[in-house]
Amino acid sequence: MTGAVRHFLDHNAGAPLLPAARARMIEVLDLAGNPSSVHAEGRAARAVVEQARAEIAALCGARPDRVLFTSGGSESNAWMLHQAGMGPLAVSAVEHDSVLAAAPHAPRIPVDDQGVVHPHAVAAMLDRLPDGGAGALVAVMAVNNETGVIQPVAEIAALVHARGGRVACDAVQAAGRLDLGTLCGAVDFLSLSAHKIGGPKGVGVLVAGPEIEPAALIPGGQEYRRRGGTENLAGIAGFGAAAAVLGATDRAAEALRLAALRDRIQAALADAAPDVLFPGRDAAFGRVANTLSVVLPGIAAETQVMRMDLAGIAVSAGSACSSGKVAASPVLAAMGLGDLAGQAIRVSLGAGSTADDAEAFIAAWCRMAARRNRAAAE
């Protein structure tokens, strides 16, 4: 494959590292000090951590002391669920696997056929919990990683808070696509991951509300005594740099550009195969501009991903955290797609995505659909 042109359409799994993030990481790799040490070298390392904390806080519209570093979005999600303590926990049926797997016995809040968690469904779930949900923790993601469907998080949070509960929000796919300040102002806990916004892999944050004192995840002195362990200095620095770049980006203009590419793909696929489905296309609160879920009936998701890869195109089937074992998407199953849940791929665009990428995908996908049609006619 050396020299072959590749088209990367899997930004929801991880965006390419931004030059600014790479430069910041290289700059701090030679710092010898431990951020917890009080000598000059330690203070220099601590300054790097606090600069990044401030940059991420600015992106979220939060106080820097509310931003707590983790090893990534999955750990941040686990930390949010840890806040349930001994109280009731309820999670939406379309959460990321890091939430669903971490809370196997928690009741699932159902979604409609477009994957939307409606406030009335949350209210019905709270009615079934002790004391009407008082003291409960409700987990609802901001943007679904597979379909791009936007959830009415602010409305759900207001409902949960009125019942005396708290809200944990996986906002990993919302960064750069929704106003994080609005989300942070609505919920009690919010998770982010660096590599979804052009930062390095292996670093994330938990953002706690202004009046929240999150229970410690790992005993130790770091992260305001809430998560022990020496900080990943280079990773944190890269995360901060990526957050600063994102904060200076014209989000609205980029959304329009990506939506045009997504809609071009969607229209071309619908023309080529009238039975193609786009889960979440008609969601009540819309989709983010960069994400498209595509169901081609009759071809397993794993086969579709492999054929796209052979054509030089990177897409995925479901969450990247489970893509090594491609199976029917629990998100699409919760939306009522039945067997079709195992016949969907995800196209996700990003800052580097171009019209050439879109056209390459369209051509390869249409060849795959035509091959399916020929096989069915024989």
Q: Which domains does the chain have, with CATH numbers?
A: 7-11+250-377 (3.90.1150.10), 19-248 (3.40.640.10)
| DSSP sequence for 187-226 | -SEEEEEGGGTTS-SS-EEEEE-TT--PPPSB-SSHHHHT
- Output the six-digit token pair for 263: 């809609």
Length of the chain: 378
Helix (H, G, I), strand (E, B) or coil at 104: coil
State whether the Cα torsion 232-238-241-247 is positive or negative. Answer: negative
Write out the two tokens for 368: 């795959």
pLDDT attached to residue 29:
96
CB 94 within 8 A of CB 117: yes
Q: Which residues pair with 68 in a beta bridge?
A: 206
Q: How far apart are CA 194 and CA 201, in angstroms?
A: 6
Helices (H), the chain: 19-29, 40-60, 73-82, 97-100, 119-128, 153-162, 180-186, 222-225, 233-247, 251-272, 301-310, 330-334, 355-377
* 321 belongs to the catalytic site: yes
* Angle of the 233-247 helix axis to the 19-29 helix axis, nearest 10: 150
Give the β-pairing of 137-139 and 204-208. unpaired
The DSSP call for residue 324 is G
Catalytic, out of 169, 184, 321, 366: 321
Q: Which of helix, strand or coil describes residue 237?
A: helix
d(CA 328, CA 341): 5
What pLDDT shows up at residue 328? 81
DSSP secondary structure letter of residue 233: H
List of residues 6+ apart from 205 with CB closer than 8 A: 56, 67, 68, 69, 70, 76, 191, 192, 239
The first and second tokens of residue 53, run together, are 């904390």
CA 16 to chain centre: 15
Segment 45-75, tens digit of pLDDT: 999 999 999 999 999 999 999 999 999 999 9
Reading the chain (378 residues) residue by residue, the pLDDT tens digits are 456 899 999 999 999 999 999 999 999 999 999 999 999 999 999 999 999 999 999 999 999 999 999 999 999 999 999 999 889 999 999 999 999 999 999 999 999 999 999 999 999 999 999 999 999 999 999 999 999 999 999 999 999 999 999 999 999 999 999 999 999 999 999 999 999 999 999 999 999 999 899 999 999 999 999 999 999 999 999 999 999 999 999 999 999 999 999 999 999 999 999 999 999 999 999 999 999 999 999 999 999 999 999 999 999 997 555 445 556 899 999 999 999 999 999 999 999 999 999 999 999 999 999 999 999 888
